[in-house]
Amino acid sequence: MSKTTYFYGTSVFGQLIKLIDHKIISNSTKKHNSDRYVKKFTTKDHIVSMLFSSFAKCSSLREVSGAMLGLSGKTKHFQLNHIPKKSTLADANK
């Protein structure tokens, strides 16, 4: 029996994020022009951070930003380009 190493070393959340079709996100971003004035924190980063907050059962933005900073070495698996701070998440959620 050979074992698959496709998901080797990635977290469960990283595996779930890989299942999302990124063409849908990029098409809707272009359609609604949601990354128009964005410098770092894109729509894709916002979706990943909100999914992380719901899976981690975070109840405040401080918990979300703190937990994501704690996992800062593993953001490659999350396909996250920018780790948001609390104020960035608050502005994006408006």
Number of domains within the chain: 1
Task: Supply the DSSP symbol for 60.
Answer: S
Task: Evaluate whether residue 10 is within a structural domain.
Answer: no
Task: Evaluate whether residue 15 is within a structural domain.
Answer: no
Task: Evaluate whether residue 24 is within a structural domain.
Answer: no
pTM: 0.76
> What is the domain range of residue 78?
39-94
Local confidence pLDDT in tens for the 94 residues of the chain: 566 655 566 778 888 888 988 899 999 999 999 888 888 888 888 888 889 889 889 888 888 888 888 777 766 777 777 778 888 888 887 7
Task: Evaluate whether residue 1 is within a structural domain.
Answer: no
Cα distances (angstroms) measured from residue 32 to each of 25, 36, 38, 83, 94: 11, 9, 13, 23, 16
The per-residue DSSP string of 19-46 comes to TS-HHHHHHHHHHHTTTTT-SS--HHHH
Task: Evaluate whether residue 79 is within a structural domain.
Answer: yes
Task: Evaluate whether residue 34 is within a structural domain.
Answer: no
**In this structure, are residues 48 and 63 in contact, taking their beta carbons and an 8 Å threshold?**
no
